[in-house]
Amino acid sequence: MGSRFYFGGQTHQEQWRREVNELGEVPVLEHKGAKLSQSALILDYLAETTGKFAPSNASEKQEIWRWMLFDNHKFTSYYATLRFLYGIKRAGETPVTQFLRERAIAAYRIVDDHLRQTPFLVSARPTIADLSLVGYVYMPEDTGMPQEEFPHIAEWKDSIRNLPGWRHPYDLMPGPTSL
């Protein structure tokens, strides 16, 4: 790994935190003079602004938020931390990586079971809930996850990859894509 930090350490600079995001995280969306952070909130804003991948009623909106909160708390967060420590930093197997993998597997099982019954998370069409959860699924660096145990996640990932205009997350990130 070239740098200890994301995007060359920018998110750890005092000025960046003051001017861009005091939470010290990416992504940040800058639009019409406003800055938004937290990917779920950014997705919600983009869905409202563009009408794409948006809920079609209040109960769909609740379902979308339920999945996006689960994603932020468990599905992507455990997996992304495992990927960082084990797959990228090459920390080796430790009680921490074991714990993270167990938690990631538990969350993947829940999503895989859900996708057994429905092609997308909230309705028959893709919504921002799918976009929230699927991002890191395209980054399967060596994490020791038993991917073969999640056939419905694999199908869902392919369906989203086949949507018009799909691009790999690495192709959408600014700057060099290698960590």
Ligand X SMILES: N[C@@H](CCC(=O)N[C@@H](CS)C(=O)NCC(=O)O)C(=O)O
Residues in touch with ligand X (CB under 6 A): 6, 11, 24-27, 38-39, 72
Q: How far is the CB of 12 from ligand X (least distance, A)?
A: 6
Q: How far is the CB of 135 from ligand X (least distance, A)?
A: 9
3-state secondary structure the chain: CCCCCHHHHHHHCHHHHHHCCCCCCCCEEEECCEEEECHHHHHHHHHHHHCCCCCCCHHHHHHHHHHHHHHHHHHHHHHHHHHHHHHHCCCCCCHHHHHHHHHHHHHHHHHHHHHHHCCCCCCCCCCHHHHHHHHHHHCCCCCCCCHHHCHHHHHHHHHHHCCCCCCCHHHHCCCCCCC
**Closer Cβ to ligand X, 29 or 155, answer by number:** 29
Q: How far is the CB of 151 from ligand X (least distance, A)?
A: 26
**Closer Cβ to ligand X, 39 or 97, answer by number:** 39
Chain position whose Cβ is nearest to ligand X: 39
**Closer Cβ to ligand X, 17 or 152, answer by number:** 17
Q: How far is the CB of 49 from ligand X (least distance, A)?
A: 18
**Closer Cβ to ligand X, 119 or 135, answer by number:** 135
